[in-house]
Structure 1
Amino acid sequence: MGFTQQEIIRIREQSYQMERKGELTPEALKYIYDKKLFHLFVADDLEGNMTPLPQAIRIFQECARIDGSFGWLVTIGSGGGYFVPFMTDETARSVFARPDAVIAGSGAVTGTARRVDGGYIVNGRWKYCSGSMFATTFTANTLLERQRSDAGQEPQIVTIIMRPDQVRIEKDWNPFGLKATGSHSIVVTDAFVPDEMTFSFTEMRSHEDELLYKYPFLPFAQTSFAGVAMGLADHFLEAAEAYLQARGNESVLAELEEQIEEFAHQKDAFYRVLDKSWEELGQKGKLTPEMEQRISIECITVAKASLGCGLRLFPLLGLSACMEDTEINRVWRDLQTACQHALLRG
């Protein structure tokens, strides 16, 4: 799976427009739908495009290299496929089995659920729901409201699945990078969510044999975001090279070449561990705690190296690189924003 040079150029031609409007263009979304990029982790029998994790991370890297917001949304949108095995087959089919199916939501427990006959009444507000403007389904974590009889029991988290008509989008995403991700807050007021539209990460209900769903969630998420960081750094280095060559700045070009070589070694080290973890999962059916820790460390290391590409080079590019409508400036802002994610900061 890949993009032609013509497709890359066409998507990049829309980058400024997407940033200005704060959302992907219909054409960029169509590329995602046509290539089934939101379905990389959805089982094939649900009209998915199930992809081994190491291959998917390389796809995320390439998408982010093309455009930061484009790559971030492909990564976040496809990540919702990880929820498939925690749903019944019927629920998973209703959520995923359509060409434009994609989940937006939040893992933060910033909502409440009150038990009623047949389900829950849900209220809450969740921040940073990337892809909210085109999501076909929303998921969120809620805290179950306690009854008197629950005194002394541990708080219970209920993960809910909601339709777009149950959700109000607050357009409050106003960052200086990744502007087109539409990572707005969502608000839910007195929505009824039936039992079948809830799930727990401790109970697999379908597709238990799919290898991807056996990969632990934390390293799964970290490797996904690391792919975005690497792709953004690739784009930054590419844009910096074109910028410096146009100005004939030989001394900084030499430093750029050194940075490109160092970063290539960091990426190779990351993929060696990722590929080994996938091989271990296939052989043993699970990752050892040592491998989980190792892949987490590699994700944080390569994310720091990605950000370091910009930290080292951007101050050497001159005042014109500070203009927000330039490619180098946009990519630098996207890179900084992506690397602020808590899972990449250690």
Structure 2
Amino acid sequence: MRFTQQEIDLIRAQSSRMEQEGEITPEALQYIYDKKLFHLFVADDLAGNMTSLPEAIRIFQECARIDGSFGWLVTIGAGGGYFVPFMTEEIGRKVFTDPHAVIAGSGAVTGTARKVEGGYRVSGRWKYCSGSTHATTFTANTVLEQADSADSGAERQLVTIIMEPGQVEIIKDWNTFGLKATASHSMVATEAFIPEEMTFSFDELRSHQDELLYRYPFLPFAQTSFAGVAMGLADRFLELAEQHLRERGKEQVLAALEDRKQEFARQKEAFYLVLDKSWEEVGLKGKLSPEMEQRISFECVTAARTSLGCGLRLFPQLGLAACMEDTDVNRTWRDLQTACQHALLRE
């Protein structure tokens, strides 16, 4: 997928407004719907836009290069498609076939589920639910309450739930200094009834088992996705920093910038080399070897560290003008720092 310069300009024209309002604009969101960017990992028979992982990561990088919050929302929204095979075909159609369908949720186990007739009663609060203000479905992890609470030695049983927007309350508490337009707020459920069929387990495949994407392990899947965002933000930061320095005639700093660009280019090449090889391995063997999982994880963390390093080394050289929050270079720098704080991108 390629973005025309006109498309890039149209999305970037929304950046300031998105940051001020704390969520994506309807215009930018409609672009995502039109291009089916939220459905990059949804099987085609569910009105999806199934895309290979290497191609999708390159799309995430480009989206983040256009705008940090835009790229993050595309990445998180598309990532919900990974849940398709753990749902029955009926529930998959219910969740994904709408053109506006997108999941927001949390991997944290900060809710409880109580077994009742036909399903569960669920309560909890989950943080960092990116895309919360436009999501059509919410997913979360809960701990099943044990009938015998005295048995403290019993192993926790997790229940992953699927909720509709009317079952959750969005608490607008996303107050970070970067990725402001991602609406990564908390969600709260109070005694919500979740039918048995609206739950799933990552240990049980229920549909679409032949799709190659769903054979790729979740951890490297998530790490590569976030690394793509980090690299896209670094791409954009380097572009803006160079423009900033040239306008001010800082030739000496431009030499340092060129070193960072070359280092970053080498790391991107190494990252995509391993990513492409890992995808080939899944295609040939149906799974990733432990060694390949370690390699791809290492490259993701290294890519994020190198991306963040571009900013850490160059931002102090840009002068006071770059400290103005309403400048593109400042917003991109803040977005880059925020994205690289994700736990999966840190050693």
TM-score (norm 2): 0.99
Aligned residue pair count: 346
Distance 1:10 1:92 in 2: 33
Q: Which moves more between the two structures, 238-247 or 61-70?
A: 238-247
Which residue does 1:48 correspond to in 2?
Answer: 48
Q: Deviations over 1:50-108 (max 9, x none)?
A: 00000000000000000000000000000000000000000010000110000000000
Which residue does 1:92 correspond to in 2?
Answer: 92
Distance 1:285 1:175 in 2: 40
Distance 1:149 1:68 in 2: 45
Q: Could you tell me how far 1:123 is from its partner in structure 2?
A: 0.3
Q: Deviations over 1:151-209 (max 9, x none)?
A: 35311000000000001000000100000000000000010000000000000000001
Which residue does 1:329 correspond to in 2?
Answer: 330
Which residue does 2:342 correspond to in 1?
Answer: 341
Q: Which moves more between the two structures, 309-318 or 245-254?
A: 245-254
Distance 1:62 1:42 in 2: 20
SS in 2 for 1:234: helix
Distance 1:96 1:10 in 2: 27
Q: Which amino acid aligns with 1:328?
A: V
Distance 1:255 1:205 in 2: 53
Distance 1:110 1:290 in 2: 32
Distance 1:10 1:238 in 2: 18
Which residue does 2:188 correspond to in 1?
Answer: 187
Q: Which structure 2 residues correspond to residues 303-314 of structure 1 after superposition, within 5 A? A: 303-314=304-315
Which residue does 2:219 correspond to in 1?
Answer: 218
Which structure 1 residue ranges, 5 or more long, are not aligned?
none
Q: Which moves more between the two structures, 59-68 or 240-249?
A: 240-249
Off by >4 Å, runs of 4+ in structure 1: none
Q: Deviations over 1:34-57 (max 9, x none)?
A: 000000000000000000000000
Which residue does 1:254 correspond to in 2?
Answer: 255
Does residue 14 (structure 1) correspond to residue 14 (structure 2)? The answer is yes
Does residue 74 (structure 1) correspond to residue 84 (structure 2)? The answer is no
Distance 2:11 2:83 in 1: 29
Q: Which moves more between the two structures, 149-158 or 331-340?
A: 149-158
SS in 1 for 2:24: coil
SS in 2 for 1:174: coil
Q: Which amino acid aligns with 1:90?
A: E
Identical amino acids, percent of aligned pairs: 77
Cα root mean square deviation, aligned: 0.9
Q: Which structure 2 residues correspond to residues 1-346 of structure 1 after superposition, within 5 A? A: 1-148=1-148, 151=151, 152-346=153-347
Q: Deviations over 1:98-127 (max 9, x none)?
A: 100000000000000000000000000000
Q: Which moves more between the two structures, 142-151 or 25-34?
A: 142-151
Q: Which amino acid aligns with 2:86?
A: F
Q: Deviations over 1:229-260 (max 9, x none)?
A: 00000000001111111111111111111211
SS in 1 for 2:134: coil
Q: Could you tell me how far 1:150 is from its partner in structure 2?
A: 8.7
Distance 1:89 1:111 in 2: 26
Q: Which moves more between the two structures, 284-293 or 238-247?
A: 238-247
Distance 1:210 1:12 in 2: 34
Distance 1:196 1:329 in 2: 46
Which structure 2 residue ranges, 5 or more long, are not aligned?
none
Q: Deviations over 1:283-330 (max 9, x none)?
A: 000000000000000000010000000011001111111111111100
Distance 1:110 1:60 in 2: 28
Q: Could you tell me how far 1:220 is from its partner in structure 2?
A: 0.3
Distance 1:249 1:142 in 2: 54
Q: Which amino acid aligns with 1:133?
A: T
Q: Which amino acid aligns with 2:29?
A: L
Distance 1:137 1:345 in 2: 29
TM-score (norm 1): 0.99
Distance 1:155 1:312 in 2: 45
Distance 1:149 1:3 in 2: 55
